[in-house]
């Protein structure tokens, strides 16, 4: 906030809205760069590779900043692999996760020379072996173990419970590594786990680290040539009243249980790097008062930012240039034809008029990357601010783009 108006770095958000229209995603170069540095710094005393989790925001300009900052990448598809390649990211610093990798994706990633596949089932391990043998190479892998700890986060983004589809039970891991010794297309490079996203408590992190640290030691003692322990991502951010641990406390919770392990750590932070670096800018279209509610209808909807509709997630919404006057409790809703298209329920807002700009905060993570064109609404443009300047790093989609490839 400068001079009563919201800015991104040195640029008033209203100036960006005039230039590119609304809705639009805006990111700060300084914040993105700083966040990566803070995470790298917190682990500087231990050999660590910070692999940015591309799914959080896969925009090329954002990936390029992280590639320049020395990050590796955590990918879940060939699409993400190609994005990393496009920005000149170091493919030897790529880890490939996901329960449903296809053999074609395995071929592409092996050819790209990635660091390792994070394998999530016995059948996937067999498939990777087949692909490795077909290509005449040993594909490097880590098994993702499911530590069965409760990450105390939203049930849609908790991944380390025994009922979740991710990873293999810890009790099966050693036998699978043993089996892999007889598979000529594979080489065991690491061990992997990820307990969930938007973590706000370090206790489950410590618990999981203690467990995977023990498995890692057992595997090393049995002669498996592991060099990397991938501890996943998940560090939370503040959307409203959450109090996630700082990066230093998170680092302690990871590092203390792993003391003396001798592994190179792989981290997969997504949200913590990008969430607070981005806002979704939107404009008030109409106001509507009914006997029951006071609605503010804006031009961004659940297709642009799905989190509130999908997870009932809270994002603060702030007027770009606040007006003086009595606050009112309003529902900030989008134009999409779904009752779940509500960006903010029962928000106390200063007076708003048609045409006013609002910023939906902490929207950099899982915002644009989860957007869709539902209701045939073209996706918003993305703008990267750097100091006093800004540039459009993705143009607004057009209706013609939406119909590409279709035949009436």
The answer to the question of residue 43 lying near ligand LLP (CB under 6 A) is no
Q: How many CB atoms lie within 10 A of CB 393?
A: 16
Residues 368-407 that bind ligand LLP (CB under 6 A): 370
CA distance 358 to 268: 31
Q: Give the active site residues.
A: 337
Judged by CB under 6 A, the stretch of 168-176, 227-235, 251-259, 329-337 that binds ligand LLP is 227-235
Enumerate residues 300-329 that contact ligand LLP by CB under 6 A. Answer: 307, 311
Note whether 234 binds ligand LLP by CB under 6 A.
yes
Q: Which stretch binds ligand LLP (CB under 6 A): 32-40, 245-253, 267-275, 371-379?
A: 267-275
Decide: is 271 part of the binding site for ligand LLP (CB under 6 A). Answer: yes
Of 354, 358, 242, 350, nearest in space to 301 by CA? 358
User: Which range, of 170-178, 216-224, 265-273, 393-401, touches ligand LLP by CB under 6 A?
Assistant: 265-273
b/e code 300-333 from CB counts within 10 Å (16+ = b): bbbbbbbbbbeeebbbebbbbebeeeeeeebbbb
Asked whether 377 and 317 are in contact (CB, 8 A), the reply is no
Options 24, 28, 61, 74; binder of ligand LLP; rule CB under 6 A? 74
Stated length of the chain = 408
What is the bridge-based pairing of β-strands 264-267 and 228-230? parallel
Q: Which of 147, 160, 167, 233 binds ligand LLP (CB under 6 A)?
A: 233
Chain residues 339-368 in contact with ligand LLP, contact rule CB under 6 A:
366
Per CB under 6 A, does 167 bind ligand LLP? no
Q: What is the CA radius of gyration of the chain?
A: 23
- Which positions from 184 to 223 touch ligand LLP by CB under 6 A, shown as an x/- string? ----------x--xx-------------------------
Beta carbon nearer to ligand LLP, 161 or 402: 161
Residue 307: which H helix or E strand, with range? helix 307-311
Backbone phi, then psi, for 405, in 5-degree steps?
85, -5
């Amino acid at each position: 906030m400068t001079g009563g108006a919201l800015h991104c770095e040195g640029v008033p958000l209203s100036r960006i809205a005039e230039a590119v229209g609304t809705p639009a995603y805006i990111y700060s170069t300084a914040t993105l760069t700083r966040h990566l540095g803070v995470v790298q710094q917190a682990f500087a005393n231990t050999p660590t590779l910070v692999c940015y989790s591309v799914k959080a925001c896969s925009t090329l300009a954002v990936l390029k900043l992280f590639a320049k900052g020395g990050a590796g990448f955590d990918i879940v598809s060939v699409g993400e692999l190609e994005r990393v390649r496009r920005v000149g990211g170091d493919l030897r610093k790529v880890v490939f996760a996901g329960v449903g990798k296809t053999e074609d994706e395995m071929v592409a990633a092996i050819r790209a020379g990635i660091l390792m596949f994070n394998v999530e089932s016995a059948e996937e391990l067999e498939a990777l072996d087949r692909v490795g043998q077909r290509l005449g190479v040993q594909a490097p892998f880590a098994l993702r173990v499911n530590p069965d700890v409760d990450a105390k986060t939203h049930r849609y983004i908790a991944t380390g419970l025994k009922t979740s589809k991710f990873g293999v039970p810890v009790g099966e891991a050693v036998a699978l590594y043993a089996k892999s010794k007889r598979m000529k297309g594979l080489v065991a490079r690491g061990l992997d786990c990820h307990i969930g996203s938007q973590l706000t408590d370090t206790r489950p992190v410590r618990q999981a680290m203690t467990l995977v640290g023990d498995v890692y030691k057992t595997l090393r003692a049995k002669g498996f040539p592991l060099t990397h322990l991938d501890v996943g991502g998940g560090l939370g951010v503040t959307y409203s009243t959450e109090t996630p641990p700082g990066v230093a406390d998170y680092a302690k919770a990871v590092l203390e249980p792993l003391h003396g392990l001798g592994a190179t750590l792989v981290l997969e932070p997504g949200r913590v790097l990008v969430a607070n670096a981005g806002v979704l800018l939107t404009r008030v279209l109409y106001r509507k008062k009914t006997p029951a509610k006071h609605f503010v209808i804006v031009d961004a909807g659940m297709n642009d930012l799905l989190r509130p509709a999908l997870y009932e997630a809270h994002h603060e919404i702030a007027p770009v240039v606040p007006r003086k006057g009595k606050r009112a409790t309003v529902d900030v809703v989008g134009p999409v034809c779904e009752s779940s298209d509500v960006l903010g329920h029962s928000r106390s807002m200063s007076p708003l008029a048609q045409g006013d700009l609002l910023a939906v905060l902490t929207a950099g993570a899982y915002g644009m990357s989860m957007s869709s064109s539902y209701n045939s609404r073209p996706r918003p443009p993305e703008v990267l601010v750097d100091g006093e300047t800004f540039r459009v790093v993705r143009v607004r989609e057009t209706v013609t783009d939406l119909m590409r490839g279709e035949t009436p």
